[in-house]
Amino acid sequence: MTLEILGISVLWIFLFGYVIVASIDFGAGFFNAYSLLIGKNHILTNIIKRYLSPVWEVTNVFLVFFFVGIVGFFPQTAFYYGTILLVPVSISLVLLAIRGSYYAFESYGARGHIGYTLTYGVAGLLIPASLSVVFAIAAGGYVDIVNGQPVLNYWTLYTSPFAWSIVVLSIAAVLYISAVFLTWYAHKAKDKEATNLMRRYALAWAVPLMVSAIGITYEMKFINPESYDNMVNLWWMFVISAVLFIITVVLIWMRKNYGLAVGLLIAQFAVAFFAYGIAQYPYLLYPYLTIYDSFTSTQMAIALVIAFILGLCLLIPSLFLLLKLFLFNKNYVTGKEDNHA
C-alpha cells in the first residue's frame, strides 16, 4: 500500500466516523425538536439527552480531524477547496456554531427553552445538507479554472439534480441512521414508548434513503462517467450494502435484535461509503486534483502516520472508556443514575 492510499484511507475512515456519529447527533436533535412540535417530547427528550450530553463535543472532533488531516496529507486541497468553498463552508460553520453552542446553552443553562430546541433541530438538518454539497463538487463539473484560480460555478451547482439528490440522500441517511440507533438505545433504556416511536421513524426513512441512493448512481452516469464505470465495476459492494440494509429493516420491522440492527446499519453504510470513495479514485477534485499530484512530502507523510498511530493509542482506550461508562452502562442508560456536575 502506498502512503497516498494509506493517507486517504485513514481520512476516509474518520470521515465515515463523522458521518455516523454526526448523523445520530443531527437526527436526534431533529427528532427532539419534532417531538416538541407534535407534543410527544415527554417520550423522547430524556432518551436523547442522556445519549447526547456526554458525547456532543466528541462529534465535532471527528470533523476537525478530517479537515486538518486532509490539509496535512494533501496540502493542495487547501488551495483548491479552500478557494472554492468559502461561501458553502462558511454557512455550514455558522450552522455548526449555532448548533453546538445552543446545545450547551439549552442543556446546561436554560433547560427546556423552546427556541433553543427548535433552532437546534433545524440547524441539525441544514448542516448535512450544506456539507454534503462538497461531495457533489468533488465529483466534478462545478469548478472552472479562471486565470489559474479555481472558481465555483454556483448556478450550475444550484440547478444540478445531482447535487440536490445528494442533499436529499444526506438528510434521509441522517434521519434513518439516527432513528435506528435511538430505537436500540431506547430499547436498552427499557423505554417502550420511545422505542416504538423511533422504530416507526426508522421504517419511514428507509424508503427515501434507498430511492435517493439509486437516483445518485443513475445521475453519476452523466456527471462523471469515469467514476460511474468504477461504481459499476464495484457492483458487488453495493449489493452487499443493499442486503445489509434489507436485513436491518426486517429486524426492525419484526422488533428483533435491535443491537444487531445497529451493527448491520453501520456495516451497510461503511460498505457503501467505501465503495463510493473507491469509485472516485484517484481524484480528490475531478478532474483537477488527484491524490498523487497533491500528496505531501514523504518526510511529512511518515511523521503524520507516526503521530496518527500514537494518537490512536491514546484515542481508542479513551473512546472505549466513554462507551463503557455511558453507552454500555445499565444504570446510566436507564436513567437510574444522574451524576451530572
C-alpha cell at 130: 450544506
Binding status of residue 321 toward another protein by CB under 8 A: yes
Segment contacting another protein by CB under 8 A, of 22-30, 241-249, 259-267, 305-313: 305-313
Between 108 and 218, name the residue whose CB sits nearer to another protein: 108
Q: Report in angstroms the alpha-carbon separations of 339 from 148, 200, 336.
A: 57, 32, 10
Cβ atoms of residues 18 and 317 within 8 Å: no
Binding status of residue 83 toward another protein by CB under 8 A: yes
| H helices present in the chain, as ranges | 3-37, 41-73, 76-84, 86-104, 114-139, 154-158, 161-188, 192-223, 225-233, 235-253, 258-280, 298-322, 330-333
Member of 315, 328, 330, 334 binding another protein (CB under 8 A) = 315
State the number of binding residues for another protein (CB under 8 A).
70
Q: Report in angstroms the alpha-carbon separations of 212 from 164, 169, 204, 218.
A: 10, 5, 14, 10
Q: Please, is 331 exposed, middle or buried when counting C-beta atoms within 10 Å of its C-beta (0-12, 13-18, 19+)?
A: exposed
Binding status of residue 76 toward another protein by CB under 8 A: yes
Binding status of residue 334 toward another protein by CB under 8 A: no
Minimum CB separation of residue 301 from another protein in Å reads 9
Binding mask 33-62 for another protein (x = CB under 8 A): --------------------xxxxxx-xx-
Binding status of residue 243 toward another protein by CB under 8 A: no
Binding status of residue 64 toward another protein by CB under 8 A: yes
Binding status of residue 337 toward another protein by CB under 8 A: yes
User: Shortest CA distance to 293 belongs to which of 303, 301, 282, 304?
Assistant: 282
Binding status of residue 297 toward another protein by CB under 8 A: yes
Question: Coil, strand or helix: which one is 284?
Answer: strand
Binding status of residue 134 toward another protein by CB under 8 A: no
Binding status of residue 153 toward another protein by CB under 8 A: no
Which DSSP string do the residues of 57-108 spell out, in sequence order?
HHHHHHHHHHHHHHHHH-THHHHHHHHHTHHHHHHHHHHHHHHHHHHHIIII
Member of 5, 37, 42, 90 binding another protein (CB under 8 A) = 90
Binding site for another protein (CB under 8 A): 53-58, 60-61, 63-65, 67-69, 71-76, 78-83, 85-87, 89-91, 93-94, 96-98, 100-105, 108-110, 149, 296-297, 299-300, 303-304, 307-308, 310-311, 314-315, 318-319, 321-322, 325-326, 332, 337, 339-341
